[in-house]
Structure 1
Amino acid sequence: MDTQTRDTIERCAQASSDGTAHFGEIVQALLAAGVESYHADYRSRLTTYYLPDGATLDIALPVPDTPIGQQFDATAVQAAVRGSQRGEVKYPEFKRLSMAAGCIGYTVWLAGRHVTYYGRRGESHVERFPD
């Protein structure tokens, strides 16, 4: 992985964590850097970024002091996603809301234009990128 790609990923991770950039901005920057997908794992507190050549980069994922709910509530996850899409929910709050809804993490499929959210028992919920 070249330095420019690594720097872009690190900047996106920081801006996302700070809540200073919205999801659409992050997606565009990561796509331009050649990132194919990334996986955020609330339990391990890591986000792993994947490039098409097999290169990966792990970045620490700060998570709120919110217990992950025992039951996966796809409706609550979807509400957090919609709030984010409207600009009402920034990433720090999104993490809190999705964790409370039983989400253990998610994978953003940049090339496939969707996100898959996961629950403790293998449940999943897919959200397509808006056009």
Structure 2
Amino acid sequence: MNTTVIHQVLAETQAGKLVFPEVVRRLSEVGVESYLCDLATGAETFYMSDGTTHAEKTTLPLSPIAEQFSASGIVAAIRGAQSDTIRYPEFMKRSAAAGIIAYWAFLTGKKVIYFGRKGESHVEEFRRPTN
């Protein structure tokens, strides 16, 4: 497990320097299969292909998580990130405002599942690159 690369990717992401496809590429290269981000605690857990895990805490300030889940709110935040109109720090604020308490990015499964406070969810498949 290369925790140095994981830490670097997390730091650069939180600084707004990386876009999601680059995060996926770099984490996949060091054997990360998936990662779980808890917006309530700031904990991020990385699940490796060899069955081990690695946890880190976010350096971003935690935003209040809205009580009501907003599917349209999380979709708008996702589209903003995909179009590179917003970067990760703003994405996290908008996710919390949409009632997202956690998300699980499945790199090998090519999808992210976003969870609301009452068990609601939104599944977002990875977009295919356009040529």
Q: TM-score, normalised by structure 2?
A: 0.94
- Which of 85, 89, 94 matches 1:92? 89
Supply the AA of the counterpart residue of 1:82.
Answer: R
Q: Which residue in the other structure is 1:103 paired with?
A: 100
Question: What do the CA deviations read for 1:32-86 (whole angstroms, capped 9, x no partner)?
Answer: 1110000000112100000022211111123435310001101110100000000
Contact 1:42/1:63 (8 A) holds in 2: no
Contact 2:39/2:102 (8 A) holds in 1: yes
Supply the AA of the counterpart residue of 2:123.
Answer: V
Contact 1:64/1:96 (8 A) holds in 2: no
Give the gaps of 5 or more residues in structure 1: none
Q: CA RMSD in A?
A: 1.0
Rounded Cα–Cα distance in structure 2 between residues aligned with 1:65 and 1:45? 7
Q: Which residue in the other structure is 1:82 paired with?
A: 79
* 1:7 aligned onto 2:36: no
Q: Which runs of 4+ in 1 moved over 3 A?
A: 62-65
Q: Which residue in the other structure is 2:58 paired with?
A: 61
Contact 1:42/1:61 (8 A) holds in 2: no
